[in-house]
């Protein structure tokens, strides 16, 4: 049996842990640059604030219902996630962290009555030890566990946050209850296509032929169908995979026209990516740079340029990557276009022990010690060492007007308790 554990409204719940007076208030968390809504408390959902809502369009609603707004505080959420995962990891040796707020556990050899007890204990312990509310769905496959979790969350009072699909009757009932758009792995496009074919629920989905699915969708959806039929096709992945690509992309607060400004941005993003690359002990041998105008500006034509540069050797050096990234930027930059977004993606990642030496250039790896020293200093002195082309004065800082403190990871931002006299 698989259990899917999902933290309820995770980012909003993290904020509430340190501001418990907001327990009943509607809360929204905004994306980078305070652009759009990426997490909502149940109260905010009830008001009708949708996921991904542009913040500026909902200003009046926020004001009317006194919605508490937070800029995203990823150091806090990441640390809270670690704490939750450490507790969950003690429940079974077969454990997979699926995302920042979700994990799968495989239970082998547990009787069904023990599963219910175990799951209820999980809900209680995580709440008591971290303050985060969770829901647990248990079923014979991962796809069904996802559905069980939705039921547990939807009917949290009745289920106490735990729902188990452990017989055929419950499976059929759950599939009939689940709208096709809510099935894990069925997105917007597939929902449209399936509805045209008369498929409105998960139950309808498992009743269409394998042939139709393979022909009109892909092997992924066929696998999903089998999984929902109760045949476990999506296995537990316990390894912490090395990333296959690493990217840093950002939208700008203002439109940028000059090459100089874009160079500064790309250089900073490259430095950021190179650091991530070294921290997972990888190197790369190609990179993609893109720059794009504002897709929402109807008056001007949307323009997106990108190019891939294949490096002559694999590297993890910020200096070398920066050199090629800027070269790529020069290739795609066009005068008189206002740019709103830019980014870099490092591709073809390899373990850095497989770094290939170049017979004709023995200076390639001379940066290794330098990078090592810079990384160590940056860790100690809060990212003070940068390349000259990077944004040294941090003039491009993101808009984060409602940022909470990093209560759990910064000593000078730790929560203070006042003694009421």
User: Shortest distance, CB of residue 208 to DNA, whole angstroms?
Assistant: 15
User: Shortest distance, CB of residue 418 to DNA, whole angstroms?
Assistant: 35
User: Shortest distance, CB of residue 308 to DNA, whole angstroms?
Assistant: 6
Strand, helix or coil for residue 418 = coil
Residue number, 157 or 219, with CB nearest to DNA: 219
Contact positions vs DNA (CB under 7 A): 31-33, 35-36, 38, 52, 54-56, 98-102, 146, 183-191, 218-220, 241, 243-251, 255, 276, 294, 296, 308, 341, 343, 345
User: Shortest distance, CB of residue 360 to DNA, whole angstroms?
Assistant: 23
Residue number, 230 or 338, with CB nearest to DNA: 338
Residue number, 35 or 110, with CB nearest to DNA: 35
Q: Which residue has tokens 């030496």?
A: 357
Strands (E), 195-271: 246-256
Residue number, 176 or 297, with CB nearest to DNA: 297
Give the separation between CA 119 and CA 131, rounded to whole angstroms. 17
User: Shortest distance, CB of residue 98 to DNA, whole angstroms?
Assistant: 7
User: Shortest distance, CB of residue 111 to DNA, whole angstroms?
Assistant: 29
Taking phi over 0 as left and psi of -120 to 50 as alpha, with beta for the rest, 336 belongs to left
Strand, helix or coil for residue 263 = helix
User: Shortest distance, CB of residue 31 to DNA, whole angstroms?
Assistant: 3
User: Shortest distance, CB of residue 211 to DNA, whole angstroms?
Assistant: 13
Residue number, 132 or 345, with CB nearest to DNA: 345
Residue number, 44 or 186, with CB nearest to DNA: 186
Would you say 264 and 390 are in contact if contact means Cβ atoms under 8 Å apart?
yes
Give the separation between CA 335 and CA 130, rounded to whole angstroms. 52
Tell me phi and psi for residue 79, to 5 degrees: -70, -40
Contacts of 70 by beta carbon, 8 Å cutoff, 6+ apart: 11, 12, 15, 27, 28, 29, 30, 402, 403, 404
Residue 30, Cα to own-chain centre: how many angstroms? 14
Q: Which residues sit opposite 256 in a β-bridge?
A: 339
Taking phi over 0 as left and psi of -120 to 50 as alpha, with beta for the rest, 86 belongs to alpha
Give the separation between CA 358 and CA 107, rounded to whole angstroms. 50
Residue number, 32 or 404, with CB nearest to DNA: 32
Residue number, 100 or 259, with CB nearest to DNA: 100
Enter the tokens of residue 146. Answer: 């996802």
Contacts of 319 by beta carbon, 8 Å cutoff, 6+ apart: 367, 370, 387
């Amino acid at each position: 049996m698989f259990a899917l554990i999902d933290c309820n409204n995770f980012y909003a719940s993290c904020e509430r842990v340190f501001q418990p007076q907001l327990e009943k208030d509607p809360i929204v968390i905004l994306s980078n640059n305070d652009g759009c809504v990426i997490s909502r408390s149940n109260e905010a959902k009830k008001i009708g604030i949708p996921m991904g809502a542009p913040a500026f369009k909902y200003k009046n609603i926020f004001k009317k219902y006194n919605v508490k707004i937070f800029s995203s505080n990823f150091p806090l959420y990441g640390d809270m996630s670690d704490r939750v995962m450490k507790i969950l990891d003690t429940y079974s040796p077969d454990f997979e962290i699926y995302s920042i707020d979700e994990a799968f556990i495989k239970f082998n050899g547990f009787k069904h009555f023990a599963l219910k007890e175990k799951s209820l204990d999980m809900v209680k312990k995580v709440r008591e030890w971290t303050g985060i509310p969770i829901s647990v769905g248990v079923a014979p496959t991962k796809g069904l566990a996802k559905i069980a979790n939705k039921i547990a969350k939807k009917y949290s009072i009745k289920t106490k946050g735990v729902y188990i699909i452990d017989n055929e009757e419950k499976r059929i009932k759950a599939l009939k209850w689940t709208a096709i758009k809510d099935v894990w792995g069925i997105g917007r496009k597939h929902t449209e296509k399936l509805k045209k074919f008369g498929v409105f629920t998960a139950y309808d989905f498992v009743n269409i032929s394998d042939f139709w699915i393979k022909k009109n969708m892909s092997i992924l959806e066929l696998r999903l169908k089998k999984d929902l039929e109760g045949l476990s096709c999506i296995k537990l992945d316990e390894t912490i995979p090395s990333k296959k690509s690493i990217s840093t992309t950002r939208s700008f607060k203002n439109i940028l026209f000059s090459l100089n400004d874009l160079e500064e941005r790309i250089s900073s993003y490259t430095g950021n990516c190179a650091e991530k690359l070294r921290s997972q002990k990888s190197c790369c041998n190609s990179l993609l740079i893109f720059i794009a105008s504002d897709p929402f500006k109807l008056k001007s034509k949307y323009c997106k340029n990108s190019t891939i540069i294949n490096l002559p050797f694999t590297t993890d050096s910020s200096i070398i990557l920066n050199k090629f990234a800027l070269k790529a930027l020069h290739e795609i930059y066009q005068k008189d276009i206002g740019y709103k977004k830019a980014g870099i993606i490092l591709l073809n990642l390899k373990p850095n022990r497989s770094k290939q030496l170049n017979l004709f250039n023995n200076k390639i790896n001379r940066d290794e010690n330098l990078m090592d020293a810079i990384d160590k200093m940056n860790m100690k002195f809060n990212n003070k060492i940068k390349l000259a082309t990077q944004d040294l004065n941090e003039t491009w800082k993101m808009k984060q007007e409602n940022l909470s403190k990093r209560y759990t990871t910064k000593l000078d931002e730790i929560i203070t308790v006042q003694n009421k006299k």
